[in-house]
Amino acid sequence: MKVSQFTKPITTKALNESLEQRFGQTINVDAFSTEQLQDARNRLRTKISDIETNESFDAVNNDEYQKTNMFLKVINQAIEERASIVEGDVESEEAITEGAEEAATLVMAAKDMVDRITGWMEDTAEMQTESMLEIGDKIRDEMGSEQSEQFIGTVKPALETLFTTLEQTRDALTGGVAILTGEGAPETMGDEVPAEEPEMEPTVDAEAEAEGEDEFAAAAPAAGGEEEAGREKRESIERSRRLGSILGNSKKK
């Protein structure tokens, strides 16, 4: 016996080759289902057991017995190889399922961070619209209007800064969640600032422009002041809307 025969892996193909070399026959295992192979294996085992029990020692060592034994080895190996393939497929599916579960856990953890920031925003909004004013009223009753105004003047901008910072933080965390879920960067949360429309060229003819030049020149400073006041009013309205939205969502919970 050659040394290479010891190192050669045992496979259905290798056993079939040995069967063909010795007895001139092979088994086409691919033509049979696993159930058919298992049934054939049971019949071969019964036949071998009967020979070993009922026949003489010479019969056990004859070619028919040896061929039957090799048939059994080929079929056993074919069944084992098919079981290994099925087991490998199952393990792959389990690995995929495990990976999906771990990814879902990470997404939920990231979303929990967003929810916690939202809760802090709701608390801050409540302090801005209710707690701060109630405390201010009590300070005015107990200590006077001057202390009340100083308190509100100090606390109000601090709470506004905190709310804005929390809002920006929540937007960033929401973007992080979108990256994990594959949804890409989220849309800007809150009220969107409308894009500025391109300035239109004036259509006043030259003669009318010459006649009204002094009037428009004198009105320019006044127009600038009104624009500044209007912007401040709009910012106040937008902030009130955001606070109202946060408090509204909080009361629904």
For residue 54, being part of any structural domain is answered with yes
Rounded Cα distance between 172 and 185, Å, is 9
Those residues of the chain that have pLDDT short of 70 are 1-8, 56-60, 86-90, 92-96, 184-253
Residue 56 domain-assigned (yes or no)? yes
How far apart are the C-alpha atoms of 187 and 251, rounded to whole Å? 25
Cβ atoms of 67 and 23 closer than 8 Å: yes
Domain-embedded: residue 26: yes
CA distance 177 to 183: 9
Res 179: pLDDT? 87
Q: Is residue 147 part of a domain?
A: no
Q: In this predicted model, what pLDDT tens digit does every residue of 32-72 receive, in sequence order?
A: 888 889 898 898 888 888 877 777 666 667 788 888 888 99
Closest to 238 measured CA to CA, from 181, 191, 196: 191
* C-beta pairs of 32-40 under 8 Å, 24+ apart in sequence: 34/79, 34/82, 37/75, 37/78, 37/79, 38/79, 40/75
In a domain, 201, yes or no: no
Domain count, the chain: 1
Residue 85 lies in a domain: yes
The predicted structure's pLDDT at residue 227:
47
Its domain, for residue 26, covers 4-97
| CA neighbor of 156 nearest in space, from 124, 121, 118 | 124
In a domain? residue 14: yes
- Helix (H) or strand (E) segment spanning residue 118: helix 63-126
Q: What is the pTM of this model?
A: 0.38
Q: Is residue 214 part of a domain?
A: no
Reference 27, options 38, 41, 12; nearest CA is 12
